[in-house]
Amino acid sequence: MKKRWVSLFTIIIALSLISSCATQLRKEPIPPEVAKVDSFDTWFEEVMTEIIYNLRHNTFVKNRPFIIVKAEGENISSKIDPFTKEIRERMISWFLKYPEIQVVRRHPVHVFDRPYKVQELRCDRFTDYKMLMTLDLQVVDEQNKIIRIAIREIDKDSGTWARGFSFYGKVRLNETEWMQFQSPLMPDQHLKGLKYIPFTEDEKDEMAAYLARNITCISMTLLPSTNTKVYIDSSGIGPEFRDIVWFIKKQLQFCNLIEVTEDKAKAGLIFTADAKRVKENLWQFWLSTKEGKGLATYAYFRRSTPTDPVSGRWSFYLLPEKKPYGFIIISKMKNGIYVGNIFYPDGSLKIRGVIIEVRGDSLEWRFYLNNHLHTASGIILEHGDRISLTETISPSGRTMHYELIRE
């Protein structure tokens, strides 16, 4: 009996030790206090060996595409110094030696530098990223040029840090490295087109070149050899976005193996364009296809906020079929009063000098045409990008519903 109690006690002790170890493994490791100070090159050689082993074996980061970015503590930085940028390039050079390590190189193509031949495109690493590898460099001893480097990975979607992927070191920089580290921060072009550095209103041609490069790579994967025609369906986006599609088509015309067609029935591959507001004036522009696994590419861009919520040219769309129904050009007078000229779809004038009264997000107008009174009331939506309008025609009482889109 005594032996049985001793054995049972031993088992309980063993189980509690196992449980304790398991609990410790689940905890996020605490950043160590690094006492050793190496030169940067010495530390870099050592840590890269460990990082590569981790990327190939750690189940939380293995086979997950990632980009490399500068961080400041818990935050991703949209700006970068020359020294951190150099570290990233050196890391990428190491990673490219291992096909299973899915580092994503993001270099948006300048509109004037875009390769004109498909053979010059590097599509082998075209993919969307799932993780962000962060480089966080902090000064420890300015007099002796010592910095602390932390390298971690964060999940793009969940915002959680990857378990088991934390590397730290203290390094002493030489004079050249220190000057690079202390240089002014510049916008990180590696993040161009992401939410951290979206394209701007006057960079539509740059965004088009970037998207054209991406859909070229998608097309070369999915297009049948017997039909290399590509069609871009822009019917689902407003006229204010169609100039982006126009730029994309112009860029694709430089491609020597892909032909843009305006006949949907003749296309070997169809891309659908879509634009979604993320918040305020930040938007995503998507190009997607249902072929294959439903590949897609997108870019973030920031639209300029209209200084006047009403003035400008607006396209009429008759609801519910959203049929084009002409346009109106509105000019501001004074005291919240505007005047508009309404045109038919063919561009001929329908009526001139319609007085429009605006109060906050609401507007109203009325005019007589062919002995009928047209009374309209509308709501300004989406920070001045869209107007929902209802028009009543008297004496018949006929009601029309429109959507007005700013051009």
Per-residue pLDDT tens digits for 117-154: 555 556 655 567 899 999 999 999 999 999 999 999 99
| Whether pLDDT at 221 is above 70 | yes
Residue, of 280 and 323, whose pLDDT is higher? 323
Give residue 309's pLDDT. 74
pLDDT band at 290, cuts 50/70/90?
confident
For every residue of 312-352, DSSP letters joined together read: EEEEEEETTTTEEEEEEEEEE-STTEEEEEEE-TTS-EEEE
Give residue 110's pLDDT. 53
For residue 90, CA distances in Å to 83, 94, 122, 132, 169 come to 11, 7, 19, 17, 17
Give residue 16's pLDDT. 47
For residue 365, CA distances in Å to 46, 52, 326, 376, 389 come to 73, 67, 17, 5, 11
Residues 6+ apart with CB under 8 A from 14: none
| Whether pLDDT at 397 is above 80 | yes
Q: What distance in Å separates the CA atoms of residue 279 and residue 283, rounded to the nearest whole number?
A: 7
Strands 269-279 and 229-233: parallel
**Contact, 299 vs 281, CB < 8 A?**
no
Smallest Cα–Cα separation from 281: which of 169, 156, 195? 195
**Contact, 260 vs 230, CB < 8 A?**
yes
Q: How far is CA 275 from the centre of its chain?
A: 12
pLDDT band at 255, cuts 50/70/90?
low
Residue, of 188 and 30, whose pLDDT is higher? 188
Q: What distance in Å separates the CA atoms of residue 189 and residue 210, rounded to the nearest whole number?
A: 12
Give residue 374's pLDDT. 94
| Whether pLDDT at 32 is above 60 | no
| Whether pLDDT at 304 is above 80 | no
Give residue 254's pLDDT. 74
Q: What distance in Å separates the CA atoms of residue 114 and residue 209, rounded to the nearest whole number?
A: 7
| Residue 77, SS3 per DSSP | coil
| Whether pLDDT at 13 is above 60 | no
Q: Which domains does the chain have, with CATH numbers?
A: 31-107+121-188 (3.40.50), 199-302 (3.30.2300), 312-406 (2.40.128.120)
**Contact, 275 vs 241, CB < 8 A?**
yes
Residue 7 dihedral angles phi and psi, to the nearest 5°: -65, -45
Q: How far is CA 158 from the centre of its chain?
A: 16
Please give the single-letter amino acid code of residue 282: L
CA atoms within 13 A on the CB side of 66: 25
Beta bridge partners of 342: 328, 351
Q: What distance in Å separates the CA atoms of residue 211 and residue 251, rounded to the nearest whole number?
A: 9
Beta bridge partners of 339: 331, 355
CB count, 10 Å around CB of 223? 19
